[in-house]
Amino acid sequence: MTNRIDTCLNGLKSEHRTALVTYLVAGDPDLDASLTAMHCLVKAGANILEVGVPFSDPSAEGPSIQRGHERALANKVGLKNIFQLVAEFRKTDSDTPIVLMGYTNPIEWMGIENFANQAQSSGVDGVLTVDLPPEEAEGYTSVFEKVGLVNVFLVAPTTSDERMQSIVDTASGFLYYVSLKGVTGSAKLDISEVQARVETIKGLSDLPVCVGFGIKNAESASAVSACAEGVVIGSAIVDLLGQCKSQAEVVEKLKPYLSEIRQAID
């Protein structure tokens, strides 16, 4: 089954361009702003949208994204609202891949099959569950495959070569390389270390590699784009959205920020 993610990444590869992957938390600061922001990010050069599913206990997130989750939860945004958001987005954008990024409990609570069916029918293409390593994902992978959802997994600086092989065997779509030991939005990116690790991954797998955690500006994005198929920007966008008081402001703030990064990686 062809998936928007594969189509997108293959297309960029043939153009020798790097994918710009952007993250926001659905419902932060509210659902209308999220919809505006998603379209705006695509216009400013994003190729894949990661839509964060807010969770009460986001244990892998740094302060910026934690606050994003808290703002969304103050609006009681849950998976049901997020499926509506994605369906709404799909009305005017049928190409841009969407990956839901979140934690296991809301999915377990809904039931894996129910989640997968609703995600697929609303227009979601992939799922990245931060606290679901391949060892625990057995019950998920087959259900996701059945409806054509891509299951994205993390690879970390601490991942052994042996584990990396098993992750590569389970993953589809792309691999998400966590560029540093830390939470999202940390500021201790070591580019040469990232390059070396991405090399190792590429020796084991043909899957595209997107690198995230700690990439904040045009400079770091450009450096990472030299070695990976994709660059993920998260905390910096969530910080900008947190400052927005209106829909107009969302566009005003996001557009120049992302355009600069787009230019830097092209």
Q: Which is nearer to other proteins, 105 or 263 (CB)?
A: 105
- Which structure tokens are listed for 148? 């054509």
Q: Which spans in the chain are helix H?
A: 4-14, 31-43, 63-74, 79-90, 104-110, 112-122, 138-147, 161-170, 191-204, 218-225, 235-243, 247-265
- Does 214 help bind other proteins (rule: CB under 8 A)? no
Angle at 162 between CA 159 and CA 167, to 5 degrees: 70
Instruction: Find out whether 79 and 109 touch, Cβ atoms under 8 Å.
Output: no
Comparing CB distances to other proteins, the nearer of 108 and 249 is 108
Task: Identify which of residues 110 and 147 has a Cβ nearer to other proteins in the complex.
Answer: 110
- Number of C-beta neighbours around residue 59 at 10 A: 10
User: Among residue numbers 45 through 84, which ones bind other proteins (CB under 8 A)?
Assistant: 54-62, 66, 70, 73, 76, 78-80
Q: Does 9 bind other proteins (CB under 8 A)?
A: no
For residue 239, the minimal CB distance to other proteins (Å) is: 16
The Cα–Cα gap between 199 and 264 comes to 22
Segment contacting other proteins (CB under 8 A): 8-16, 40-48, 85-93, 97-105? 97-105
Judged by CB under 8 A, does residue 260 bind other proteins?
Answer: no
Residue 174, by phi and psi: left (phi above 0), alpha (psi -120 to 50) or beta? Answer: beta
CB of 60 to other proteins, least distance (A): 4
Residue 64's nearest CA partner among 245, 246, 247, 236 is 236
Q: Which is nearer to other proteins, 32 or 135 (CB)?
A: 135
**Binding to other proteins (CB under 8 A): which residues in 10-39?**
none
Cα 238 from Cα 235, distance rounded (Å): 5
For the chain, report the end-to-end CA distance as a whole number of angstroms: 29
Is 210 an interacting residue with respect to other proteins (CB under 8 A)? no
Sign of the Cα pseudo-torsion (51, 56, 61, 67, in order): positive
| Total binding residues toward other proteins, as defined by CB under 8 A | 45
Residue 198 sits in the site that holds other proteins (CB under 8 A):
no
Instruction: Verify binding: residue 107, other proteins, rule CB under 8 A.
Output: yes
Residues 116-135 that bind other proteins (CB under 8 A): 130-133, 135
- The single-letter DSSP state of residue 246 is S
CB of 82 to other proteins, least distance (A): 10
In whole angstroms, give the CA distance from residue 72 to residue 106: 14
| Part of the chain binding other proteins (CB under 8 A), chosen from 1-9, 148-156, 240-248, 257-265 | 148-156
> In the complex, what is the shortest distance from the CB of residue 217 to other proteins, in angstroms, rounded to a whole number?
21
- Which member of 15, 158, 192, 245 binds other proteins (CB under 8 A)? 158
Q: From the list 144, 153, 174, 257, which residue makes contact with other proteins (rule: CB under 8 A)?
A: 153
C-alpha neighbours within 13 Å on the C-beta side of residue 39: 17
Interacting residues with other proteins (CB under 8 A): 54-62, 66, 70, 73, 76, 78-80, 103-110, 130-133, 135-136, 153-160, 163, 167, 178, 181-183, 186
